[in-house]
A and B are shown apart, each in its own frame.
Chain A
Amino acid sequence: MSNSDRAEALLRGDKVDRVPLYHFLLGFCARNVGYTTVDMYNNAEKSFQAQLWTFEQYGIDGGPDYGYASYGGWEFGGEIKMPEGEWQQAPSHVNFPVNTEEDLAALAMPDVKTAGSLPLAMEFSKLQQKHGKPITVTLGGNFSVAGNICPPSTLCRWMLKKPDAAHRILQIASDHILDVVRYWSDTFGAENVIPNLWEPMAANDIISPKQFEKFALPYIKETNEKMLGMGIKHILYHICGEQNANMPLWAQIPMGDPGMVTFGHQVKLSTAIEYFGDSCIILGNVLPALIQTGTPQQVYDASRDCILEAKDAPRGFMLMPGCELPPMSPFFNVYMMKKAIEDFGYYG
């Protein structure tokens, strides 16, 4: 089976020869091919090419994708800083478009054809189409987009003291996600688009499951239902960070048939299968820090453990790190994930 065939077969519900390998790894690709990290975020052609080359080298089956976790601020009129220097791994916000309730009242919906990173993301998706790759658009989950439009601390305070403002910004974030996905669907056909949504800010590292239930769940659920109603077939959700207490709530959210859900090391793959195994492909969750700082043997062992734990998930399993692959990971450690698949990932 070829690399592209493998991930697509799982999405069709067909059998695959082995566990596919998946990655978010923009910064690592830059280092791997000798580009700068900023090339990966502000040059669609270079970003796409660097990923294709790296995927070929490491036998990666899914992707390439474009996007980053601070999505939302720039699109609504805030400022973003492209990664520079030795330690930056992704774009980061410089300031936020909304700091007060007055800013919120005056906030205009962005034009998705021109706002922030979206023209570049569209250029990237046209390359995905040209090369016959799955067409993805990477956005934050509803709560994270809201927490990138205003500072996360403001969103947190509003939830408790000004719930109307919190609901308002979440509604704006939700409408925006739908606007973007509609634009992608109109351009490529909804059935060909896989929205990739990252939700780090709704983690229990930050909010309680009760707050998730009130402020994240209804928006995520409704947005996903509407995306599926547009004709989207599969949604990929990166359920980032500590999310164990949110799992019964996440399980109420439709992700498509099958959906794709990816987890950090904080959520056990067996737990992910318990909640999502019947409806979604499970992806995860080798500890990113281990891939950077561990020995090759440790990465191999951790990858093996993931494979053995989740290989037989009913709708399939893909091995990936628990979040973005740290750009400074030793090359051989990255190779060890593939080696573990070769040794333990084949189906009978």
Chain B
Amino acid sequence: MASDEKKAEILKGLHDSVVEYEEEKTVEVANEAVAEGLDAFEAIMGGLAKGMETVGDLYVRQEYFVPELLLCADALYAGLEVLKPHLKAESHAEPRKIILGVVEGDIHDIGKNLVKVMFDAAGWQVFDLGADVKIERFAEEQKKCGAQVVGLSALMTTSMLAIPRIIKTLRDSDSTVRVLVGGAPLNPDIAASYGADGYADNAGEAVEQAMKMLQQA
């Protein structure tokens, strides 16, 4: 068992190597966490995910841009790959599930990919349908995987018109599903008028909103 001091050092190491997008270093520290017998869930949430939270803040403050975020995400995933097999059964009993996709007609997927990273970092199970996703697919996939939340991204005023249609197909198929929307042309008012349960302005906020939705459910 690692001492408290060692544990703090490892968590900081995981945090810092994600923030500094040091993929190899992240793997190294993650292996150390395993070797020292650290709880994998704690290492993920207190190290990797914390790191990604800091990255999100740096992005909002415009100190980091998309290139940095992508590399931080690479480091995060490399660390997760080491730690996930060591998760104890009770810590991943019922992961929260979200389906993500960019709506039909729209290939702007950079923002959606960042949203996915933040959900991965927060421990959600993400079903990423990619970009230009046909309307009916969201409900079909939701039926298959039972995701509690469906996240829709649209970057154009043209493609955002698909959102109310998607929401209708989702509700027709499962009245309990929650829908989160985001993307540049949307705002809370448009989201509400389309019947969405929530709107997020950026990737970090998306996770917060989704958590809120589940608490209200």
Contacts and interface: CB of A to CB of B under 8 A. Distances in A.
B83 interface: no
Interface in B139-174: 156-159, 161-162
Contacts of B113: 153
Contacts of B106: 87
B104 interface: yes
B45 interface: no
A161 B161 CA distance: 38
Nearest to A159: B67
A89 B105 CA distance: 7
B71 A161 contact: yes
B110 interface: yes
A207 B67 contact: yes
30 contacts: A83-B105, A85-B104, A85-B105, A87-B104, A87-B158, A87-B159, A87-B161, A87-B162, A88-B104, A88-B105, A89-B159, A153-B66, A159-B67, A160-B67, A160-B68, A161-B71, A204-B62, A206-B67, A207-B66, A207-B67, A208-B65, A208-B67, A211-B65, A211-B67, A288-B157, A289-B157, A326-B157, A327-B158, A328-B158, A328-B161
B107 A328 contact: no
Contacts of B156: 89, 326
A157 B157 contact: no
B70 interface: yes
Most buried by A among B66, B67, B70: B67
Interface of B: 21, 62, 65-68, 70-71, 74, 103-107, 110, 113, 132, 156-159, 161-162, 185, 190
Interface of A: 27, 70, 83, 85-89, 92-93, 152-153, 156-157, 159-161, 204-208, 211, 288-289, 292-293, 326-328
A156 B67 contact: yes
B157 A92 contact: no
Nearest to A70: B107
Given A152-B110, A153-B110, A206 B66 contact: yes
B34 to A, nearest CB: 26
Contacts of A326: 156-158
Nearest to A207: B65
Contacts of B159: 87-89
A293 B74 CA distance: 38
A92 B104 contact: no
A206 B66 CA distance: 5
Contacts of A160: 21, 67-68, 71
Given A85-B104, A93-B107, A328 B70 contact: no
